Amino acid sequence: MELQQLRYVLAVDEERNFTRAAEKCHVVQSALSHQIKALERELGVLLFARSSRRVELTAAGAAFLPAARVALDAADRAAADAVAATGEIRGKLSIGIIPTVTGIDIPAALGQFHRSHPSVQIRISVGGSEEFISAIRDGAMDVAVLGLPDAVVPVRVASKVITRERLVAVMNSTHRLAGQGQLLLSDLADETFADFPLGTSGRAQSDLSFSSAGVPRRVAFEMMNTESLLALVEQNLAIAMLSPALIPDGRDFLAVPVTDGPTRIEYLAWSDFNPSPAALAFLGLVH
């Protein structure tokens, strides 16, 4: 069994098409098909069910794929470690970022990293803090920016606090509370809110804060990104609890401090076991 065969299998699974998989691997289709058939003969099972229009993993293929991916990742890591010993960083850098990251200028940091280490392939994923922590533990992600409530600390990963901030109540400039210099959570009990979906890390600190204070909160609008939340606020449909750094100037809304409001901590997280050379180089840059 050769590593190249494993790469071909993963490419076909991702593309669900032999022609596109061959293009992705920069080989002719006949060579890719031949190698996969040779691997199937060696294993004694079919990895893919094929027709002229359709390609799908068989049950054997689905069972084979996770270990194949681990083997390839290990081989890539071994090569990157060997090259890093000479002072050159290669390999891959997988980064997870929350939608509300404020503590790091990610594009600027990645631009600087790429100029210093052009041979590293960079991949970015946007998602939630808990899934990123799990991915780092499983070795599927190198570094992540997390946003967690004040009472929650990342576990089983290495981490560093980037920033700590108290969220503010963002409302339309004509809202009845817009003239207040500051508010309490209890002042917001009868308001309609727009927030991130229930269960996401972007919303957790607000839900926890209102619940701990015994203040009911009605979230009528659930959106996946900050701009959508701000658009609803701008139309005076709801109030949002957001970081002050996420509020742009020149829009028809105001940010009002909430004295007992939710506090959010941003962390930079990475593997506490065996971070890759690319991960260590990125951490050194942002630190």
Token output for 100: 């509300």
CA distances 268 to 53, 146, 174, 229, Å, are: 45, 6, 38, 25
In whole angstroms, give the CA distance from residue 232 to residue 228: 6
Highest CATH level, class, for 168-261: alpha beta
pLDDT at 86: 57
pLDDT at 122: 95
pLDDT at 7: 87
Q: Tell whether domain 92-162+266-286 is in CATH 3.40.50.300.
A: no
pLDDT at 263: 94
pLDDT at 85: 65
Q: What is the pLDDT of residues 59-118, one digit of tens each?
A: 999 999 888 887 877 777 677 676 666 567 888 899 999 989 999 999 999 999 999 999
CA angle 247, 215, 236 (to 5 degrees): 40
Residues of the chain below pLDDT 70:
1, 77, 80, 82-87
pLDDT at 90: 81
pLDDT at 194: 98
User: CA 273: distance to chain centroid?
Assistant: 20
How does the average pLDDT of the chain come out, rounded?
91
Q: Are 231 and 155 in contact (CB under 8 A)?
A: no
* CATH classification for the domain delimited by 3-84, as one of 3.40.1000.10, 3.30.70.3000, 3.10.450.50, 1.10.10.10: 1.10.10.10
Beta-carbon contacts of 207 under 8 Å, excluding residues fewer than 6 positions away, are 198, 217
pLDDT at 69: 83
pLDDT at 74: 75
